[in-house]
Structures are given as C-alpha cells and as structure tokens.
Structure 1
Amino acid sequence: MATIKLIIRRNKGSVNQDGSTLILLRYTHKGQTKYFSTGLSVFPKDWDARNQRIKKSNRGFTTKNMVLTKFKQKFDDIVHKAIYDEIEPTGSFVRAEYEIEQNKAEGKQGKQGKSIHHLTWEHFKNDFVDESRRTKKPSTIRSYNDFIHLLDLFKKSRGIKELIWQSFTLDFYYDFMKFHIEERGASNNTFGKMIKTLKTFLNAATERGFNKCLDFRSKRFKVFQEEVSHIYLNEDEIQCLLDLKLENDTKLREIRDLFVIACYTGVRFGDFKQINEQNIRDGRLRIKTHKTGQYVVIPFHPIVKNIIANYAGKLPNSYCNMIVNRELKIIGKMAGFSKTIIKSRMHGVRRVEQTFEKWELLSTHCARRSFATNLYKQGFPTVSIMKITGHRSEKTFMRYIKVTEDEVANMLEEHWNSFQMTG
C-alpha cells in the first residue's frame, strides 16, 4: 500500500542558513521511499507535523497550504491512475510520471512559466482575499472584491479566459485604463484606487515567490490621485440647519442633530453606532475610532452640549449611511443651500464638469470636512486638529481642508490687519 506524506527534516544538514527547512513529499511503496521537493520552506516551529500543514503563525500560511494540497493531489492522481490502469505504482514509476507532468506544465508556460508548486493568478487572488479576512477590515475586503469583480468584467470585455502573472504588463495597464475610464466612465481617482489594489495583490504574490513579472513596479504603472472639489459647511450654514423647525419629524430632527454633532466633533458617522454613555464623560467624547483604531478625546462644543441635553444626555438615534445621505439632501434643501457648485473631475485627459446646487452634495462625510476646515480657518493648529480627527499624515489631512480662494484671501487680509494693529 502506497503512502504519501508531507514532512520536514530537522537534521543539521537539512536546515537553511536562515533556520528554515524544505518541505518534502515522502512517497513510500513496499519499502521503497522517494522524496520530492515541494519548493516551499518553513521554520520548524511553524510546521504542524500531525496535520502536515503550515501553522497560522507563518505569514501566508493559507496560500502555502493550498500549494501543498495541490502538490500532494498531483501524486494522489498519479497513483490512482496507475491502479486504475493496473500498473504497480512503484517509487520509480511515480517519479517518472511526476517528471513527465512537470515537463508538460513547464513547456506550456515557456521560459517564463511556473513550476507546478506555484499558484496561478486566478487561484492566488481569491486565496489572498480569504487570508486577508483574518487581518483586514470589512471595508478593505469589500474593496478587494470590487476590484476582482471589475477585473472579471475586463476579462469578459476582452474575451480573456484567464489572466496569468505575465499578463500584468504596461500594455495591460493602458488597456485596463481605457476600459475603466473611457468605456465605463470612471474618474482618474477611481481608476487609481483599482491600480493601488492590484499593486497590493501583486506585491504580496511577488514576496511569496509566485509572481516574477515586475512591470507593475514601473513608474508608468502609476496610481492616479487628483484633488476633488468636495463641499463643507461654514459656521453660518451649520446654524441654518439648527434653525430649522423639525419638531414634527423625528427622523429628520435626529439626523440633523447627529450631523451637527459630527460638524463639531469630526467623528465619522460609522463611529456613532459604537458610542454609548460610557464614552461621554466630563463634557468630552472618548472613543477608539473604528477605521484607524486610534483613541481620541474630543471636548464638546456648547452647541453639542445643548443637543445632547435635549436627548437626556445621550446621542440621537443613528441611521445607516444610505438613509442619512438621502435625508440630508432634504434637510439641506429646506435650509436653502442653493448655491451653485461646479464639480470638476478628470477622466483620462478629459476634464468633465458637472453643476449642482449645494444641497445635492450634502453627505455624512461633509460633516468631518466641515469640522476640520472651520477649525483650520480659525487658526487652530493643524497638528492638534489631526489629533482629534485621527489623521496620521498631514498630506491626507489637508485633503479635508476645503477653503476657497476668496476665503484664503480674507484670512490673509485679517492676518495683515491684526499685524498692523499690533505693530
């Protein structure tokens, strides 16, 4: 009876300089034993001998275990076929069949092909997402799945059955850009997010030895990122919201009040759901933000204190983003936010402009931009605002600052006037 087992050798001669050791497949039949290299190495402490698997303590264990499973399955298939054909599956026979299968696989791929212990792109991308679920946030996993879905649409549009590692060249980059921007109407920023995700996948695959095509690291394989003209509400506009008489509509009133609280705390709407009485102490909000995991302490503005007092010391009810964004536009229209806003976006080399009334652009994230921009205009230190918003990078933070050219001019005039008065 043949036995197939994955093993590692712990003797001194089998250990690499870094302390790792090669994972071998041991095939035994009627006392004859043959060893086959899987091409993967592991540190002995990360090897589960009983289950013939790499432990979770090893980075990339899910992907590597899949490689091992596929490798072992290859030998199972050889043995089962031999038995079916009434051939004795000796060690020499199995080795010969294995080498034939390996040569066929390498011949199909050519000089840049993969050996059978390497995963294809199509297998790797799905496995990488599954592995990422253990360490990444749900929003990141959604972005990974969105990218894979878009890539599937691209393949279908181009009549491509499957992509391989050598597919991701500069030619692919420009064709993918044409598909997403010209054919689907995406903006440069949206395309840039997809390329950023692709680079995440390819970097991981390259580090693990599956990908050898490095075109994606070229400077021309770039991630587009342009400044977007988002809106914010100034202090007077926030007061207009507070002046609305919404006593007869509980939902609108709660959404308005929660939005105003966000305008004076900078809290993401997604964080409101986790806030309870324990987070509100001594007139301050103390929370660990969901997105970045940073702990922030935010003192309450007098307006926020008044709102919370109206809800018996608690926050208003929180609603899902879709409902809030829909109702905010109704509230903004009631408040008379009819100023014309021109939004400009780049689609490839083509600039596209759209015209809106300001209320049409109101959304939950507008509150966070309003908080940062209004404090910035008041001269509050940027570093201190970042401590409250939880931003680690000033470059990222400055995208939240939506000061117009006229407002910058006014700030400069006030600075000069105050300087003359003190002089």
Structure 2
Amino acid sequence: MAEVQAIKDDDTIRLIGHLLSIRCNPQMADVWHIGLNLALRISDLLSIRFEDIHDDRLIIRESKTGKLANIPLNTKAREHIAKVRERHPNHVYLFQSYRCQQLKHRPPQPISRRAVSLAFQQVGQELNIALGTHSMRKTRGYFLYQSTKDLGRVMKMLRHSSEGVTLRYIGITQDEVDKDFVSLEL
C-alpha cells in the first residue's frame, strides 16, 4: 500500500470534494467532507451508524484501539450529516451501501473501505497526489498542528501515543521543523 499524504492547502481540499462528487458519486464526497472533520480511521468512519450520533456528538468505540471516541461535531460535520440523513432517512449507516439495498434479505451494510480507496485513488491520480483513505485524518492533523503548533493536541485528537508517529503521520518534516527554528527569533 502506497504512503498517502496530508493535503496541505484549502483549494485542493475543495477540489478533491468536487471531483469525488462528479467523478465518483456524492456519497464519496460526503465521506471526504465528514472524514476531514472527524479525523477517524476509515474503518471507524465507515462503521458510523446514525444511532451513534447524539445531538452534537459522535460516540463510537474505535475498532483498532478499543477506546471510546466521544467527538463533538463541528458545524460543517453536522451540516453534512444532516444532508445525508435528509437524503436517506431510512439508512442505518451514515455511509450505507446502495448495493445492499438491492439485495432483499440482507441487512444494511456500510460502503466498503475498498470502494472508498478506489474512488480516492482515482481522484488522486487525476490530481497527481498520493490520496488515500488516511488522507482525511492526516489532513485534519496537519491543519490542527499548523494552527496551534501544539503537537500534544494533535496527538490527543488522533489518539496517538508517540510524538514521532504523529509528526510522520501529518507530514511534518525535519526541514519544516528547522525552518521554524530559523524563522522564530525571540
């Protein structure tokens, strides 16, 4: 599996959402927009049920760590979730597979990680960037770090236990750290 990167500018973030909507389908754009705002691993993002959303919070148990994630929903996340709910009032999952709806006696299922990965790869190839399912989480972490320069906050949001992992994860290179040392004079 190829290493994917954080998307580091607003225009590209918007362009990715637009291309996912027109090249793939609006559901993939919803995954992108909501995923950017929740910073969850893709397996947890796709497993969200509408019953996991309580007023302005998402409460789920992370599959990788077993930890309870109690995430406040920002305005953009709430707006996107409300639009999905309005379009699909009978869905169980936030990102429910349409294919399972066509099979009569099968319980609802979320869309697959593979489907999301293929859609993201397609748009990434078009834009010549390494785009994948972790790009949303990495992008959220990168922007939080850029706005706060507080690695501890980023680690807590991503629920990481190592600073080194978090720095690599969000794409902060030694060159960028060196530049910060040079540019900040006290």
TM-score by length of 1: 0.34
Question: In structure 2, what is the equivalent of residue 109 of structure 1?
Answer: none
- 1:328 paired residue number: 120
Contact 1:297-1:388 at 8 Å conserved across structures? no
Higher relative contact order by CA 8 Å / sep ≥ 6: 1 or 2? 2
**1:327 to 1:409, Cα distance in 2 relative to 1, 3 A:** same
**Structure 2 residue aligned with 1:18:** none
Cα-Cα RMSD: 3.2
Report the Cα distance in structure 2 between the residues aligned to 1:408 and 1:281, rounded to whole angstroms.
43
Q: Which amino acid aligns with 1:284?
A: R
What residue is the counterpart of 2:179 in the other structure?
A: 409
Give the 3-state SS of the residue equivalent to 1:312 in structure 2: helix
**Aligned pair 1:239/2:14, yes or no?**
yes
Residue 268 (str. 1) matches residue 44 (str. 2): no
Counterpart of 2:99?
Answer: none
Could you tell me which amino acid in structure 1 is paired with residue 121 of structure 2? K
Deviations 1:395-420 (A, max 9, x none): 3333212035469737974x55xx7x
Alpha-carbon spacing, 1:270–1:377, altered in 2? closer, same or farther (3 Å): same
Opposite residue 161 of structure 2, the aligned amino acid is: R
Aligned pairs for 1:132-171 within 5 A:
none
Matches within 5 A, 1:113-124: none
Using the aligned pairs only, state the percent identity.
23
- Residue number in structure 1 paired with 2:111: 319
Relative to structure 1, the CA distance from residue 392 to residue 303 in structure 2 (aligned partners, 3 Å threshold; closer, same or farther) is: same
Q: How far does residue 333 in structure 1 lie from its aligned partner after superposition?
A: 4.6
The verdict on how the C-alpha distance between 1:305 and 1:380 changes in structure 2, with shifts beyond 3 A counting, is farther
Determine the C-alpha separation between the residues in 1 that align with 2:153 and 2:119: 32
Q: For residues 378 and 411 of structure 1, what CA distance do their matches in structure 2 show?
A: 17
Within 5 A, what are the aligned runs for 1:210-289?
230-236=4-10, 237-244=12-19, 246=21, 252-289=25-62
Give the strand-richer structure, 1 or 2: 1
Counterparts of 1:37-186 in structure 2 under 5 Å? Answer: none
**Structure 2 match to 1:389:** 158
| Structure-1 separation of matches of 2:156 and 2:20 | 35
Instruction: Compare the two structures and name the one with the higher helix fraction.
Output: 2
Gaps of 5+ in 2: 87-92, 97-109
> Is the contact made by 2:20 and 2:120 (CA closer than 8 Å) also made in structure 1?
no
Q: Is the 8 A contact 2:59 2:71 kept in 1?
A: yes
Q: Is the 8 A contact 2:20 2:29 kept in 1?
A: no
Change (3 A) 1:330 1:408: farther
Distance 1:323 1:299, change over 3 A: same
Of the three residues 354, 357, 363, the one matched with 2:132 is 363
Gaps of 5+ in 1: 1-189, 191-227, 338-356
Normalised by the size of structure 2, how large is the TM-score? 0.71
